[in-house]
Amino acid sequence: MTGYGTVESAVEAMKLGAFDFITKPFRSEEILLRVHNALDKRQLRQEVHRLRAEGNGAGELFARRAATEAVHELGHSYGLAHCDDRGCVMWFSNSLAETDRKGPRFCPAHAAELRRLMARP
């Protein structure tokens, strides 16, 4: 399981306040489990579809922001750099509005690079 260490370090980062908008009673481990699963390409696509279908309910918007930031950090932990594509999760966002715009998906180039990095032994 190559993904284990990075998920654990992401949990550590969250505990250290990297995701400052994640507050009680939200369970960060649950989000990360979902994000880890979402890194599977098919599940990631389903997750994005689900978020779109459910619209902008406050809880879902919150979960979407958390997932977007967590996917971004996990992308870094796999060695991805920031992206020039404003629709890519690896775009460096300065505000929640920008986070909301990009969403938790990778551009085609980063999706391919992530697939390659994750396939490494």
Contacts of 70 (CB under 8 A, 6+ apart): 10, 14, 19, 31, 32, 35
Residue 10 binding Zn ion, by CB under 5 A: no
Figure out which of the listed residues 28, 70, 110, 114 binds Zn ion, where binding follows CB under 5 A: 110
Figure out which of the listed residues 22, 74, 88, 114 binds Zn ion, where binding follows CB under 5 A: 88
The answer to whether the beta carbons of residues 38 and 74 sit under 8 Å apart is no
Residue 13 binding Zn ion, by CB under 5 A: no
Figure out which of the listed residues 83, 99, 105, 113 binds Zn ion, where binding follows CB under 5 A: 83
Annotated active-site residue 73? The verdict is yes
Taken in order 90, 94, 95, 97, is the CA torsion positive or negative?
Answer: negative
Three-state SS across 44-107? HHHHHHHHHHHCCCHHHHHHHHHHHHHHHHHHHHCCCCCCCCCCCCCCCCCCHHHHHHHCCCCC
Give the range of 15-23, 42-50, 52-60, 80-88 binding Zn ion by CB under 5 A: 80-88
Figure out which of the listed residues 14, 66, 71, 107 binds Zn ion, where binding follows CB under 5 A: 107
Residue 35 binding Zn ion, by CB under 5 A: no
Give the range of 15-23, 41-49, 61-69, 105-113 binding Zn ion by CB under 5 A: 105-113
The residues assigned a catalytic role are: 73
Binding residues for Zn ion (CB under 5 A): 83, 85, 88, 90, 107, 110
